[in-house]
Chains A and B, each alone.
Chain A
């Protein structure tokens, strides 16, 4: 049908002049705001109950490193759950890919390329990601094309891949041989230091600014209603403030004196009077997780793939009738999940500097819990990557906090379990109210 040209698109787009609430004007997701508030309450609460041990640079730095692995997997779990599926196998996939990476590195790569060859770590990681991708694609294929429910396929996968992890090395623990690969796990060397942390922070702030300006220009081009200028400034200010604060915290965590002296000696730095303060800065696994989060958010929000994932979750039949190949998308989502499990495996293997048979056990439950606490609806169609990563931070904060408070581990499980149910209950109430 020909489009009538007498009506300009701008005609329907008068800028709204009605007074709006602050939250509306800022276009902030209230659910996300609530999650951040909940996280802060948890942090302050634990800090009080643990006698000031929680909100220290050291603990927050460790927290960030410990969150990384689950956070990476939770980004994929969001898309899985959004498409009305579930993946119970991620912990076992983490186990088997971690084991394969360790064996591949120790038995083949280091031997052929040489010790600490710069290609070793990247080849290890790529091999792991590829295997993870294949495993995920296989499970996705069975779900999408053979019609077996995802719950069953991945429940089977949970057993199969755990068993496969054992088969790779007959249950042995395989130590990593490549020092570069170990950096992915964090640790004293696996952090980027003060200067680079500030450089990254500056780049991040610049990107936030650029994205805001760009979005505004785009909307101006079509004469859409714009956010008020003060709201833009507040949003950018808050984001930049958070980036700077996080950078300050990770830089406030310094190497213990003994390690600092050894580091100075290795690097040939003179030790100044009053002791040497060497900042950790951002840990590599945290940067990996943040990078994964950004890429996944991009995939979810800015690509056709992401649009289809959400459309399938909202109404699978409608998506199919609109011409979306829902089965192909399902395979892609599972394949992506498998690949992310392998990245998480690289982080946790590198952190332990070896691959063990039990690695990743119960991680599927933490990953699902992180996604769900982060506002992903098990009914499908709703969820955000950032929310899931925050959910992972909430889960890890609870565990770390309870350890600092000296709670017994059975009690810790009880608390985590209750919090999970409570969080989903609150989310249900929120959804009912918000409609």
Chain B
């Protein structure tokens, strides 16, 4: 049935079953349609940039996928199988990890406790194995941020970049297959932004599918294989980054105008208006 919909012309070069397929997702809050019949998909080893203004519904859409929100309508398929995602635990079971814009760290506990939050390592006695967790944290943090030393401090005491490293470490440590990054570089300096870009490429090479969410096209365009643009809760359209220019994508974001290289969605401006 996925073939019949055929709503993704750009995906023809990446064959096989999509890793994630979100179909006709809708959610409203108090009568406001935050996400309105949006369909997007993601293939293994692919980076899909999810773009749009603040308030376009990007974060809300991915929060449905990560289990933070419950959708009103629509279906999610993982590997072509219908997925039941009702809470963050369900999402993690499907190998979906999320780096939230707010980082979603418990400020009062240390890096290892945050890294393993909800999935603590335990000893044979069922107690927390803090030493093993610290060891694992040291290893993964060393790869991401070799200068990181503050393993005993609550993450409150860390810099923006260090906190970001902790959030990223948490997403990649548990063998994720799908990673959602919500404005991952918002709090970072140029060097750290570059590190995140390199990490994204590395993860992509490992066959992980990545949703990269941003309101800034420059963060995303060079990294993404495809972009999906949202406006007012609706999908303006999707496009392969090789088929469109940055300016055209900007037009999608700002005006909702779908260029030739893109596949228009329900939120696209009617073509006569665009002309």
Q: Measuring CB to CB, which residues of chain A are less than 8 angstroms from any residue of chain B?
A: 1-4, 7-9, 11-13, 218-219, 221-222, 224, 298, 301-304, 306-307, 310-315, 317-324, 381-382, 435
Contact = CB atoms under 8 A, between A and B. Distances in A.
Given A218-B131, A221-B131, A4 B143 contact: yes
Contact of A321 (B104, B107, B120, B203): B104
Nearest to A312: B106
25 contacts: A1-B206, A1-B208, A3-B139, A7-B142, A9-B135, A11-B142, A12-B139, A222-B131, A222-B134, A298-B127, A302-B127, A303-B126, A304-B128, A307-B109, A307-B113, A307-B128, A311-B109, A313-B108, A314-B106, A315-B108, A318-B102, A322-B117, A323-B119, A381-B106, A435-B156
A349 B203 CA distance: 63
B76 to A, nearest CB: 17
A26 to B, nearest CB: 14
A74 to B, nearest CB: 20
Nearest to B87: A323
Given A9-B139, A322-B104, A314 B109 contact: yes
Interface string B86-115: 011100100000101011111111000100
Interface in B201-230: 203, 206, 208
A312 B105 CA distance: 10
Given A1-B206, A302-B127, A322-B104, A224 B113 contact: no
Nearest to B175: A1
A222 B140 contact: no
A79 to B, nearest CB: 14
Given A2-B206, A224-B131, A311-B113, A321 B100 contact: yes
Grouping DSSP codes into helix (H, G, I), strand (E, B) and loop, the A interface class, with mixed when no group exceeds half, is helix
B120 A222 contact: no
B88 A320 contact: yes
B31 interface: no
B172 interface: yes
A183 to B, nearest CB: 32
Given A307-B113, A435-B157, A315 B107 contact: yes
Interface of B: 66, 68, 87-89, 92, 98, 100, 102-109, 113, 117-120, 122, 126-128, 131-132, 134-136, 138-143, 146, 148, 154, 156-157, 170, 172-173, 175-176, 203, 206, 208
Contacts of A298: 127
A214 to B, nearest CB: 10
A42 B118 CA distance: 43
A9 B108 CA distance: 24
Given A310-B106, A319-B117, A302 B128 contact: yes
A435 B153 CA distance: 11
B177 to A, nearest CB: 9
Q: Which 6 A-B pairs have the closest CB atoms?
A: A314-B108, A314-B106, A323-B118, A12-B142, A318-B104, A381-B108
Contacts of B109: 307, 310-311, 314
Contacts of A222: 131-132, 134-135
A381 B157 CA distance: 15
Given A9-B135, A323-B89, 8 more contacts: A1-B172, A3-B139, A218-B131, A303-B126, A307-B120, A322-B104, A322-B106, A323-B92
Given A9-B135, A304-B128, A321-B100, A310 B108 contact: yes
B106 A311 contact: yes
A199 B102 CA distance: 53
A302 B130 CA distance: 8
A304 B88 contact: no
B98 A321 contact: yes
B107 A314 contact: yes
B134 A224 contact: yes
Nearest to A220: B131
A318 B132 contact: no
A323 B67 CA distance: 9
- Most B CB contacts (10 A, CB to CB) among A3, A301, A321, A324 go to A321
A324 B108 contact: no
A379 to B, nearest CB: 10
A12 B89 contact: no
Contacts of B138: 9, 12-13
Nearest to B107: A314
Contacts of A324: 117-118
A381 B156 CA distance: 12
Contacts of B113: 307, 311
A311 B119 CA distance: 13
A321 B175 CA distance: 18
Contacts of A8: 139
Contacts of B134: 222, 224
A265 B208 CA distance: 82
B128 A382 contact: no
B176 to A, nearest CB: 7
Contacts of B128: 301-304, 306-307
